[in-house]
């Protein structure tokens, strides 16, 4: 399957699945076409000047508030959020790490995430975390979103496909993708095994 993308940083783009589903001349009509729900995913603080605000208007079959209660808590002990203190046994000094081995059992993108370092405090929305991912199977029925921050994905081995509520991104080594905070996605593998970095 060949993908074509809309190029340019800071540009405004629009795409629709059904003809006429995007409202013309306004973003939030009282009655969107096809009975869709208009919602805005903001990427800017409310204190930013209006002209610099970054946002995405989504027209969803179901409003995001209808999904409340349908999520289940996920436990991935190798995926950490800052501040992550007290649960390591590393001595001081310089280190070199061997690559994380490819898993032998079926492992998807989320289950194959391993945190390398964290800084700051996720509750204060400051700082960052760096992770390595390995995977050998696609996410089948599960979807994921990160409520803590954006995900910068840098593949090292193998290509993957992000199926998001805004469209599909195919990502190969030598390319990067940024998934905004709060964006729902799942990951399909294009190649049999993948490895890379997430910040």
Vertex 132: Cα angle to 170 and 165 (nearest 5): 35
Bridge partners (DSSP) of residue 163 are: 168, 186
What is the rounded average pLDDT of the residues 134-147? 92
Tell me the C-alpha distance between 144 and 131, whole Å: 16
Confidence of residue 104 (pLDDT cuts 50, 70, 90): very high
Instruction: List the domain boundaries for the chain.
Output: 10-69, 113-198
pTM: 0.66
156: enclosing H helix or E strand? strand 151-157
More confident position, 82 or 33: 33
Please name every residue paired with 58 in a beta bridge, in sequence order, or none if there are none.
Answer: 39
CATH number for 113-198 (one of 3.90.1150.10, 2.60.120.10, 1.10.1240.10, 3.40.50.720): it is 2.60.120.10
Predicted local confidence at residue 76, as pLDDT: 79
**Residue linked to tokens 């001081």:** 92
């Amino acid at each position: 399957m060949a993908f074509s993308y809309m190029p340019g940083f800071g540009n405004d783009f629009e795409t629709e699945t059904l003809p006429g589903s995007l409202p013309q001349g306004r973003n939030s009509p009282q009655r969107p076409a096809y009975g869709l729900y208009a919602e805005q995913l903001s990427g800017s603080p409310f204190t930013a000047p209006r002209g610099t605000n970054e946002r995405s208007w989504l027209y969803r079959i179901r409003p995001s508030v209808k999904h409340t209660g349908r999520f289940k808590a996920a436990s991935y002990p190798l995926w950490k959020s800052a501040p992550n203190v007290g649960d390591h046994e590393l001595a001081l000094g310089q280190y070199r790490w061997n690559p994380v081995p490819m898993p032998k059992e079926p492992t998807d993108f989320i289950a194959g995430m391993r945190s390398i370092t964290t800084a700051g405090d996720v509750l204060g929305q400051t700082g960052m975390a760096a992770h390595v991912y390995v995977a050998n199977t696609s996410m089948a029925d599960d979807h994921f979103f990160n409520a803590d921050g954006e995900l910068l994905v840098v593949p090292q081995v193998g290509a993957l496909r992000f199926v998001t509520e805004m469209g599909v991104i195919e990502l190969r080594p030598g390319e990067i993708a940024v998934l905004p905070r709060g964006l729902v996605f799942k990951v399909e593998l294009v190649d049999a095994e993948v490895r890379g970095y997430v910040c």
